[in-house]
């Protein structure tokens, strides 16, 4: 499989001699992500529901492992190198801060004047700078020093905030994949790539992420008693799901397609109704999630193969084709989770308290840099100005887990309220 990739794809920013000829460059990339501290920390970071709230719910780590499994199978079917996609899937959420998207929102507000905060841009920063594995001849960190192909595959949004594309509604997307001071590494990994275009492996990673979290967020919501999939029979619920999906996820999928998807999904033989928490009900729910994942993967594989044929598909030789029916069904599932879990939680005091905790912690550490961990203290010492110093503090805070962020706040400021 790796024979479809060139020496340029296998290049590392800091050249290294292979230590084990038995492993490919891309297998080494995957291993580096697996052994990273950033990946371990995802075990105590929020996915949708707070990890400590329930033993069943997914954390960022369990979600990441599921994304990697889906992505690897898609890669094998399409002819991408499975280790490139696997590494990108394992890396895709490394940059998420404590408290998931809620924490991301707080840090974005604090850094709006110095380039913002975005989990995907923070992932690139971790892979190319913050996560220690390789240093260059001058002693500067090159992060995990992954190959160009694996780094490029991990970039979901190949642009900076200032270059983000404008959608059909005339609004510039708030998603971006690189901060201004990481542009040098970004330019290296994007060498030869069409501007603003994702490689096939990044598209596969993105679809695997969408499939995993759309399906599994619904599964978690059902088990938590927040959602019964049978509610799609209710016309008012369908209206609510359409409105929520379009508010949260944009208007790329039209309302007629969403309504058609809401009519199709309950016709699946495995679609769950009347979940009662028994082992039989849990098994039936797992059948539904498996069927949904298979349904979405098969749809994308078939459509992509129909366009590009049967040979190996890699990097910029092809684009992933996802049928509108698949996009609509995924968006309906995301709309269900948003309507019944994520939107209601926005009003809960817990979530406002989490954002306040991170704001307080950033302010305190900016005034007390002696409390930073040694790698971040070294970054602070070489920072050129207050904007760069704020970025260092945010790097430190973003690295924390939900639990350690609360512990740091308690130690430095007292228990959060």
Per-run averaged pLDDT (10 residues), the chain, 417 residues: 79 89 93 95 68 57 94 96 97 92 92 94 97 92 97 97 80 89 96 94 97 92 88 90 88 91 94 91 95 97 95 94 96 91 69 91 96 96 96 96 93 81
The rounded distance, in Å, linking the Cα atoms of 174 and 161 is: 7
pLDDT in tens, 10-56: 999 999 987 778 899 999 999 999 999 999 999 887 655 444 444 44
pLDDT of residue 50: 45
pLDDT of residue 273: 87
- Residue of 290, 238, 223 whose CA lies nearest to 49: 223
CA atoms in the 13 A half-sphere facing the CB of 311 = 6
CB 389 within 8 A of CB 141: no
CA angle 274, 279, 281 (to 5 degrees): 20
Instruction: Provide the β-strand partners of residue 141.
Output: 135
pLDDT of residue 58: 65
| CA gyration radius, the chain | 21
pLDDT of residue 172: 80
Tokens standing for residue 272: 């769950």
CB 98 within 8 A of CB 45: yes
pLDDT of residue 225: 87
pTM of the model as a whole? 0.92
pLDDT of residue 341: 83
CB 95 within 8 A of CB 123: yes
What structural domains and CATH numbers belong to the chain? 2-189 (1.10.3210.10), 200-345 (no CATH), 351-413 (no CATH)
């Amino acid at each position: 499989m790796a024979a479809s990739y060139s020496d340029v794809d296998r290049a590392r920013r800091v050249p290294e001699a292979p230590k084990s000829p038995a492993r490919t460059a891309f297998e080494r990339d995957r291993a580096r992500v697996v052994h990273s501290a950033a990946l371990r920390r995802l075990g105590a970071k929020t996915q949708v529901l707070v990890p400590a709230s329930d033993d069943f719910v997914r954390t960022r780590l369990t979600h990441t492992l599921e994304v990697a499994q889906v992505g690897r199978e898609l890669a094998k079917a399409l002819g991408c190198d499975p280790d490139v996609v696997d590494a990108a899937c394992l890396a895709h959420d490394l940059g998420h801060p404590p408290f998931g998207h809620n924490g991301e929102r707080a840090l974005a507000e604090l850094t709006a004047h110095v380039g913002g905060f975005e989990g995907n841009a923070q992932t690139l920063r971790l892979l190319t700078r913050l996560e220690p594995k390789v240093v260059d001849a001058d002693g500067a960190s090159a992060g995990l020093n992954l190959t160009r192909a694996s780094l490029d595959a991990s970039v979901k949004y190949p642009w900076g905030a200032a270059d983000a594309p404008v959608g059909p509604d005339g609004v510039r997307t708030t998603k971006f994949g690189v901060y201004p001071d990481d542009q040098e590494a970004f330019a290296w990994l994007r060498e030869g790539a069409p501007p603003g275009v994702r490689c096939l492996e990044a598209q596969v990673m993105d679809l695997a992420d969408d499939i995993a979290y759309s399906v599994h967020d619904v599964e978690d919501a059902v088990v938590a008693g927040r959602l019964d999939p049978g509610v799609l029979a209710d016309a008012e619920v369908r209206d609510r799901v359409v409105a929520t999906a379009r508010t949260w996820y944009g208007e790329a999928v039209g309302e007629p397609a969403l309504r058609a998807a809401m009519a199709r999904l309950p016709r699946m033989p495995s679609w769950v109704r009347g979940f009662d928490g028994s082992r039989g009900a849990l098994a039936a729910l797992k059948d539904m999630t498996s069927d949904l994942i298979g349904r979405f993967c098969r749809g994308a594989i078939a459509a992509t193969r129909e366009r590009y044929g049967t040979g190996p598909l890699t990097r910029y030789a092809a684009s992933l084709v996802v049928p509108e029916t698949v996009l609509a069904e995924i968006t309906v599932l995301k709309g269900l989770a948003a309507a019944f879990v994520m939107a209601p939680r926005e009003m809960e005091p817990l979530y406002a308290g989490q954002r306040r905790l991170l704001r307080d912690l950033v302010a305190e550490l900016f005034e007390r840099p002696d409390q930073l961990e040694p790698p971040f203290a070294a970054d602070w010492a070489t920072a050129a100005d207050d904007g760069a110093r704020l970025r260092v503090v945010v790097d430190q805070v973003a690295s924390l887990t939900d639990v350690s962020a609360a512990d740091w706040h308690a130690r430095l400021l007292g228990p959060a309220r």
